[in-house]
Amino acid sequence: MVKKQKTFRPKARVPRGFRDRLGDELGAEREMLARISVVYEAHGFDPLETPAFEYTDALGKFLPDVDRPNAGVFSLQDDDQQWISLRYDLTAPLARFVAENYDGLPKPFRRYQVGPVWRNEKPGPGRFRQFTQCDADTVGAPAPYADAEMCVLFAEVIEAAGVSKSDFAIRVSNRKIVDGLFEKLGLANLEGDQTRLNVMRSMDKFDRLGEAGVRLLLGPGRKDESGDFTEGVKLSDSNIDAVISFLTSTVAGDGPATLGNLSAILSETESGKSGIDELIEISRQIPDDYKNSVAIDCSIIRGLEYYTGPVFEADLTFTATDEKGRPVRLGSVGGGGRYDGLVERFKGVKVPSVGISVGVSRLLAALALRNPEQASPSGPIVVLALEKDQMAAYQKMAAELRAGGLRAEVYLGGSNFAKQLKYADKRAAPVAIIQGEDERAKGEVTIKDLVLGAELSKKIEDNTQWREDQPAQFSAKREDLIDAVKKTLARHL
Q: pLDDT category, 196, cuts 50, 70, 90?
A: confident
Question: Quick one: 366 and 391 in the same domain?
Answer: no
C-alpha span between 455 and 451 (Å, rounded):
6
Tell which residue, 484, 490, 452, 445, has the closest CA to residue 471.
Answer: 452
- Asked if the model's pLDDT at residue 271 lies above 70, the reply is yes
List C-alpha distances in Å: 461 to 30, 330, 448, 449, 466. 40, 42, 20, 19, 8
Residue 20 confidence (pLDDT): 93
Q: How far is residue 394's CA from residue 410's CA, in Å, rounded to a whole number?
A: 7
Q: Cα angle at 93 between 88 and 98, to 5 degrees?
A: 160
Task: Give the start-end residues of each E strand in 322-411.
Answer: 327-328, 331-338, 353-359, 381-383, 408-410
**Which residue among 370, 389, 419 closes a domain?**
370
The tally of domains found in the chain comes to 2
Task: Tell me which residue range forms the domain holding 446.
Answer: 381-490
Pick 302 or 142 by higher pLDDT: 142
Most confident by average pLDDT, 52-61, 93-102, 230-239, 368-377 = 93-102
pLDDT at 68 (0 to 100):
42
Q: Is residue 11 part of a domain?
A: no
398 and 307 co-located in one domain: no
pTM of the model as a whole: 0.81
> What's the average model confidence in pLDDT over 63-91?
78
**Does a structural domain hold residue 14?**
no
Amino acid identity of residue 115, one-letter, is G
Which residues make Cβ contacts (< 8 Å) with residue 314, sequence separation at least 6? Answer: 154, 158, 168, 169, 170, 171, 332, 333, 334, 335, 356, 358
- Tell me which of 322, 350, 370 is where a domain ends: 370
Contact 35, 385 (CB under 8 A): no
Mean pLDDT, range 297-307, rounded to an integer: 81
Same domain, 362 and 386: no
Yes or no: say if 482 and 381 are a contact pair by the CB < 8 Å rule: no
In a domain, 360, yes or no: yes
Q: What is the mean pLDDT of residues 280-291?
A: 92
| Domain shared by 159 and 271, yes or no | yes
Assess whether 31 and 86 both reside in one domain. yes
194, pLDDT greater than 60: yes
Could you tell me if 414 and 323 lie in one domain?
Answer: no
- For residue 1, tell me if it sits in a domain: no
Q: How many helices (H) and strands (E) does the chain have?
A: 18, 20
139 within 8 A of 108, measured Cβ to Cβ: yes
Q: What CATH number is given to the structural domain containing 471?
A: 3.40.50.800
Contacts of 350 (CB under 8 A, 6+ apart): 340, 341, 343, 344
Could you tell me if residue 2 is inside a domain?
A: no
CA 130/CA 39 separation, integer angstroms: 25
pLDDT at position 336 over 50: yes
pLDDT of 468 above 60: no
Domain membership of residue 259 (yes or no) is yes
**Do 195 and 287 lie in a common domain?**
yes
The answer to whether residues 323 and 446 belong to one domain is: no
Whether pLDDT at 61 is above 70 = no
Q: What is the pLDDT of residues 14-54, one digit of tens each?
A: 999 999 988 888 888 999 999 999 999 999 999 999 999 99
Is residue 447 very low, low, confident or very high in pLDDT (cuts 50, 70, 90)?
very high
In tens, the pLDDT along 151-185 reads 999 999 999 999 999 899 999 999 999 889 888 88
80 with 198, same domain: the answer is yes
Q: Is the domain of 416 the same as that of 291?
A: no
Give 102's contacts (C-beta < 8 A, 6+ positions apart): 343, 347
Instruction: Report pLDDT for 279.
Output: 94
Res. 343 pLDDT band, cuts 50 70 90:
very high
What pLDDT is stored for residue 365 in this prediction?
A: 82
The predicted pLDDT at position 41 comes to 97
| Tally of CB atoms within 10 A around 172 | 27
- Asked if residue 452 and residue 318 are part of one domain, the reply reads no
Is position 68 within any domain? yes
Q: By three-state DSSP, how is residue 395 classified? A: helix
The verdict on 363 and 397 lying in the same domain is no
- The predicted pLDDT at position 158 comes to 95
Share of the chain above pLDDT 70, in %: 91
The pLDDT assigned to 280 comes to 93
Distance CA 490, CA 482 (A): 12
pLDDT of 108 reads: 96
**Residue 230 sits in a domain of what CATH number?**
3.30.930.10
**Which has the minimum average pLDDT: 48-62, 318-332, 350-364?**
318-332
Residue 478 within a domain: yes
CA dist., res. 101 & res. 50, Å (int): 13
What average pLDDT score do residues 466-484 get?
Answer: 81
The answer to whether the beta carbons of residues 114 and 338 sit under 8 Å apart is: no
Query: Of 221-225, 377-381, 392-396, 466-470, which has the strongest mean pLDDT?
Result: 392-396
What's the mean per-residue pLDDT of the chain?
88
The domain boundary residue, chosen from 345, 370, 395 = 370
